[in-house]
Amino acid sequence: MGFSLTSEQEALRKEIRRLAEEKVAPRAADIDRSGEYPWDIQKMLASQGLLGYAIPEEYGGSGADLLSCCIVGEELARICATTSLIFVVQKLAVYPIVIAGSEETKQKYLPAAARGEELAAFCLTERDSGSDAGATKTVARRDGDEYVISGEKCFITNGGLAKIHSVFCMTDPEKGYRGISAFCVGDVEGLSAGKTEDKMGLRAAQVTELVFDDCRVPAENRLGEEGSGFVTAMKTLDNSRPLVGAQALGIAQGALECAVAWARDRQAFGKPIGLMQGVGFMLADMATEVESSRLLVYKAAGMADSKDPNLSIFSAMSKMKASDTAMRVTTDAIQVMGGYGYMKDHPVERMMRDAKITQIYEGTNQIQRLVISRALLKG
């Protein structure tokens, strides 16, 4: 098992770090403070080809592997988690189309997404069906050569902004999760954004309800066969959870660097506070947790790239471990900085708020533990 990145991946990390420090860092605090979607940052990511990074080359993307995507997500999140989410959610939202869409659907929707001209959204969650996808109430009814979609989704990142939607609906409610089908839905009549959420972190990411009021979608926009939507969703999440783990990892890395710099410079009792055992041991624990999370995230990404049949358990582990680490490390970074860390003048306060959602979205960490324990019990 190798633990070194290729020279190309190291060069990628260096380039994305430079990009983040030069273009994103000056905007990070204001993005959080204003809560306004950062179109300038979105356009910058698009101009760099990053919004099509995971889309196959034949549809205008770069065809990058998941490990390279994780490096990009990590380095962006080290500076600004909202910027990282713009990258992460574009990959998440188009992946169902990549793996299950017809050639016509791919040709119609993926090139614009790859160029960053159109944002995408992943539409699974509902008010009464978060972790329990089988309780999905949004329905798709076949009507000739079309499906008519009715229902509501919630907590949809890019809601109201996206022109491409991967939507999961019930086509046979009596079958539970086996009755779920997936559809690619464009900017169609009857689709509208509802409530925009006021969030604790990721303040500038637009997260809304989406209302589907008898939206008519061509039958060829179905992603896979009827009843295959749950499998498509799970394959997508297996492939995207390491990327969320990388986002959490980047937040933790950024907070660790802030804490170390502070502990090196801040004087108390005639010496840097980092030389005091109580603080020094905290830094040691933080660094160890960050590095162990990185190894697990990279391992899961490598397994996804090699199509390892054991991906699910390691995907869940990587997301769970990295997000728990992000929450702990950002909290400890504030403790190291004391009262200063609690103030909005310093980025660790923002990092702690941003870290929390990584324990919740893409499946709560309780669901990840359920996935892991069930896999273990199956042997």
Query: Residue 276: left if φ>0, alpha if ψ -120 to 50, beta else—which one?
Result: beta
DSSP code at position 200: S
Rounded distance between C-alpha atoms, residue 81 and residue 249, angstroms: 10
Beta strands in the chain, from DSSP E residues, in sequence order: 120-123, 139-143, 146-157, 164-170, 180-185, 191-196, 207-218, 222-223, 267-268, 271-272
Nearest-CA neighbor of 169 among 205, 217, 118? 217
State the helix-helix crossing angle for 25-34 and 81-100, rounded to 10 degrees: 90
Q: Is 226 a catalytic residue?
A: no
- Cα dihedral value 280, 281, 286, 291, nearest 10: 100
List C-alpha distances in Å: 15 to 21, 73, 123, 173, 257: 10, 13, 32, 48, 19
CA angle 50, 51, 55 (to 5 degrees): 100
Rounded distance between C-alpha atoms, residue 269 and residue 286, angstroms: 24
111: tokens are 């090139």
List C-alpha distances in Å: 268 to 250, 264, 275: 29, 11, 10
- DSSP code per residue over 30-88: HHHHH----HHHHHHHHHTTGGGTTS-GGGTS----HHHHHHHHHHHHHH-HHHHHHHH
Q: Which of 118, 126, 289, 362 is catalytic?
A: 362
What spatial distance separates the first Cα and last Cα of the chain, rounded to whole Å? 23
Q: Residue 82 in contact with residue 114, Cβ under 8 Å?
A: no
Nearest-CA neighbor of 207 among 141, 121, 287, 280? 121
DSSP code at position 20: I
Q: Which residues are catalytic?
A: 362
